[in-house]
């Protein structure tokens, strides 16, 4: 049985169980699925040079991994997930920030402002 999508764009899917980050793994672009139950902390930040605005794919410091997004430099908000099961956090962008936030918060995940 397929999980119901509550948000979807070219970069991420959100369903009943978690968030699918498309084009996550380098170099082939396979997706990574993050279960809601594995999220320790989620936050959103203004996209700047220091938060990863120009990081198209990968990591510059081995602390944060960014899935592929060619348009990240044009986006205003970057989301970060710290998982309970791994030390590297995930930084990612979405096409519709407001709809993504509504979808995630509907699953009782709090997104902190930084």
Output the pTM of the full model. Answer: 0.94
Q: Is residue 49 part of a domain?
A: yes
Q: How many domains does the chain have?
A: 1
Sheet containing strand 64-65, strands side by side = 64-65, 89-92, 77-83, 39-46, 111-113
Residue 24 structural domain? 7-113
Tell me if 104 is assigned to some domain: yes
Interval 41-50 mean pLDDT? 97
Q: How confident is the model at residue 1 (pLDDT cuts 50, 70, 90)?
A: very low
Within 8 A by CB and 6+ apart from 14, the residues are 5, 6, 7, 8, 20, 100, 103, 104, 107
In a domain, 2, yes or no: no
Asked if the structure places residue 86 within a domain, the reply is yes
Task: Look up the CATH number of the domain holding residue 15.
Answer: 2.30.29
Rounded average pLDDT over 51-67: 95
Determine the average pLDDT of the residues in 51-58. 97
Give the pLDDT confidence of 11-20 residue by residue, as tens digits: 999 999 999 9
Q: What pLDDT is attached to residue 2?
A: 59
């Amino acid at each position: 049985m397929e999980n119901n999508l509550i948000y979807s764009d070219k970069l991420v899917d959100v369903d009943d169980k978690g968030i699918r980050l498309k084009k996550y793994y380098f170099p082939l672009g396979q997706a990574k699925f993050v279960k809601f139950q594995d999220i320790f902390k989620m936050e959103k930040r203004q996209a700047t040079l220091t938060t990863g605005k120009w990081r198209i794919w990968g990591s510059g410091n081995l602390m944060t991994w960014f899935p592929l997004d060619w348009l990240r430099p044009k986006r205003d908000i970057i989301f970060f997930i710290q998982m309970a099961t791994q030390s590297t956090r995930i930084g990612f962008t979405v096409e519709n920030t407001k709809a993504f936030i509504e979808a995630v918060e509907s699953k009782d995940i709090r997104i902190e402002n930084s």
